[in-house]
Amino acid sequence: MAYTVSKLTDYSAAALERAVAKLLAALESEAGAVSNEADWKVFRDRWLARKNGVLTLVNDLWLKAAPKDAKRDVGQRVNQLKSQVEETVEATRQRMLGGTSASKLTSERIDITLPGIRRPLGAEHPVIKTMNEIVSVFRNLGYSVEEGPEIETDYYNFEALNFPPNHPARDTQDTIFIAGQESKPLRDRLLLRTHTSPVQIRTMEKQRPPVRVVCPGKVHRNDAPDATHSPIFHQVEGLAVDTNITFCDLKGTLDHAMKALFGSSVKTRFYPSFFPFTEPSADVQISCIFCGGKGTRDGGPCRNCKASGWIELLGCGMVDPNVYGFVDYDSRKISGFAFGMGVERIAILKYGVDDIQLFFNGDVRFLEQFG
């Protein structure tokens, strides 16, 4: 039962001591039961509150009620008791604080043994990671890096790359034009670049041969998004112009790059193609990395290469002499090759991703796998 202060009937020293001992025992046991700050406040108020606190009751019931001749002794004892109670209340508070600075409450205390707040570390986006990897393959071959604007003029995106106005090759790149430019000459009209090839022109305009550059960047096409298309994607363009550059150099360079990216057992094959800015042009195919070029997998046709054993990966060719005409290079003295590859396409193959949209949805569960 909880301790209560009762009146003293016997004011003898012995009786007083018994009453004090009972009170102190209650004090100690209640102090021992305090286990948190809220408990402590209740404990403090029970013993020290001016109104109905145990000490106040002791004052009223013991001291005030004492006969005259006992007042002195009772007064001394009560004063002693007061300090003892105050000390115990304070010591209990200290215990709550774990012995740290007396001015801090438990809730404000810092427990340095608790685990810290862990901020999740970001990681390179798989597209950027792949782009950097491609760029570094060419850096190691002595290429430097050039970048160009994403908002381009018709001149750089098409005309200087030998796509004349109204040429059907323009239709292969469904272009997003900036509206309201009908009053400008066609070549000055702005569009979102459909490929990184305009950076070839910008580089050759400011630099004389020899040129060896790769141009990574974002490109835009008016394509509906699906598992293999995205209106925004990335390319790495390459250009090498010097004296005596041949198709052999192009083949050797890209064969090396594909082996560096996909492993040394990968084979390459050059298939005739068409781009206005290269002549001859080729599509590069690599031996299927899923079936090892066999065309069959798990006893059936390989889905990834449609059983052909080959996967088409990038475009390339020898720079068309007409292009040199736009940048004031002498096509009788120099020659060069160019190539362009889609970064997402390469990332899809390298990481076995089955939907290009995953790169753009921003789902951390997908992205963190590349951290």
Residues contributing to the site for ligand DAH (CB under 6 A): 195, 197, 237, 275, 278, 315-317, 338-340
CA-CA distance, 171 to 154, in Å (whole number)?
14
Q: Which is nearer to ligand DAH, 276 or 293 (CB)?
A: 276
CA dihedral for 214, 217, 221, 225, sign (positive or negative)? positive
Residue 78 or 313 having the CB closest to ligand DAH: 313
What is the smallest separation between the CB atom of 309 and ligand DAH, expressed in angstroms?
A: 23
Give dist(CA 188, CA 358) in Å, integer: 35
Amino acid, single-letter form, for residue 166: N
Residues in the chain: 371
Residue number of the CB atom closest to ligand DAH: 340
Helix axis angle, 68-96 to 37-48, nearest 10°:
170
Q: Residue 147, Cα to own-chain centre: how many angstroms?
A: 24
On the question of a cis peptide bond just before residue 185, with omega within 30 degrees of 0, the verdict is: no
Q: Which residue has the tokens 């991703």?
A: 353
Q: C-beta of 327: minimal distance to ligand DAH in Å?
A: 14
CB of 171 to ligand DAH, least distance (A): 12
Minimum distance of ligand DAH from residue 275's CB (angstroms): 4
Cβ closest to ligand DAH, residue 47 vs residue 270: 270
Nearer to ligand DAH by C-beta: 309 or 340? 340
Q: Closest separation between CB of residue 246 and ligand DAH, Å?
A: 15
- Minimum distance from CB of 300 to ligand DAH (Å)? 32
CA distance 17 to 5: 14
Which residue carries 């102190």 as its tokens? Answer: 24
Q: Are strands 190-192 and 151-153 parallel, antiparallel or unpaired?
A: antiparallel
Identity (one letter) of the amino acid at 110? I
Q: Tell me the residue ranges of DSSP E strands in 28-108.
A: none
Q: Quote the least distance from Cβ 339 to ligand DAH, whole Å.
A: 5
Shortest spacing between CB 220 and ligand DAH, in angstroms = 11
Nearer to ligand DAH, 30 or 159 (CB): 159
* Cα-based torsion angle of the residue sequence 239, 243, 248, 253 in order, rounded to the nearest 10 degrees: -40
d(CA 38, CA 43): 9
Return the beta strands (E) in the chain as ranges. 144-145, 151-153, 190-192, 211-220, 232-242, 268-275, 278-287, 296-297, 300-301, 310-319, 335-342
Q: Which of 66, 316 has the CB closer to ligand DAH?
A: 316
- Of the pair 62, 337, the CB lying nearest ligand DAH is at 337
Closer residue to ligand DAH, CB minimum distance, 133 or 283: 283
